[in-house]
């Protein structure tokens, strides 16, 4: 049986080709993810969403902590298992919704996430995963606080599978 070896030059070329797959924004959020952690699921002011993308094994949990008096998202935490784009999309999304109302958080689209991170078409499912996880977290929060459902307007979004402009 022949053992495959990789020369340092070949390894450097492989690493360089991987770096061209990810934008500087993805690398930044992947290397320095924001808001990683978890909140207390039992807290009535915390909504938890868990979603996965079976085609590539990505899984994300996002939690939002909402101020009950103002309806503003005070804290966001996420945990993600997956590729660099999935982690970066969740990191970016967690930053984007902090300080927003629930309605504003639901307005964040996968297209906006993909555009901000310069995701290639093959990685759009990662931005969709982040958007769906936010929606699930908000829905979970509203299930704990049903009197607020009528105050939260979900913006209708177009087909998320098309690449950003």
Domains delineated in the chain: 25-144 (3.90.1010.10)
Q: What is the pLDDT of residue 46?
A: 98
Give the integer Cα–Cα distance in Å for 7 and 148: 60
Q: What is the pLDDT of residue 57?
A: 84
83 is catalytic: no
Q: What is the pLDDT of residue 155?
A: 47
Q: Is the pLDDT score of 56 beyond 90?
A: no
Do 86 and 132 meet the contact criterion of CB atoms below 8 Å apart? no
- Model pLDDT for residues 76-92, shown as the tens digit of each residue: 999 999 889 999 999 99
Q: Is the pLDDT score of 30 beyond 70?
A: yes
Give the integer Cα–Cα distance in Å for 163 and 165: 7
Predicted TM-score (pTM) of this structure: 0.78
* Helix (H) or strand (E) segment spanning residue 136: helix 124-144
- Cα distances from 2 to residues 5, 11, 140, in angstroms, run 9, 19, 53
Catalytic option among 56, 59, 72, 148: 56
Catalytic option among 117, 126, 130, 137: 126
- Model pLDDT for residues 92-126, shown as the tens digit of each residue: 999 999 999 999 999 999 999 999 999 999 899 99
Higher pLDDT, 31 or 10: 31
By C-alpha distance, which of 156, 12, 117, 155 is closest to 125?
117
Do 117 and 94 meet the contact criterion of CB atoms below 8 Å apart? no
């Amino acid at each position: 049986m022949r053992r495959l070896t990789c020369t340092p030059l070949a390894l450097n070329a492989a690493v360089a080709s991987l770096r061209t797959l990810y934008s500087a924004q993805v690398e930044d959020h992947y290397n320095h993810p924001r808001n990683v952690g978890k909140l207390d699921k039992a807290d009535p002011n915390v909504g938890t969403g868990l979603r996965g993308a079976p085609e590539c094994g990505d899984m994300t949990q996002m939690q939002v902590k909402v101020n009950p008096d103002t309806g503003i998202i005070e804290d966001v935490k996420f945990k993600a298992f997956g590729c660099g784009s999935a982690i970066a999309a969740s990191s970016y999304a967690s930053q984007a919704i902090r300080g927003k109302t629930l309605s504003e958080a639901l307005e964040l689209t996968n297209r906006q996430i993909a555009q901000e991170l310069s995701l290639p078409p093959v990685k759009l499912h990662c931005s969709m995963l982040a958007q769906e996880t936010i929606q699930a977290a908000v829905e979970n929060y509203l299930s704990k606080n049903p009197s607020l459902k009528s105050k939260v307007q979900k913006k209708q979004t177009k087909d998320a599978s098309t690449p950003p402009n």
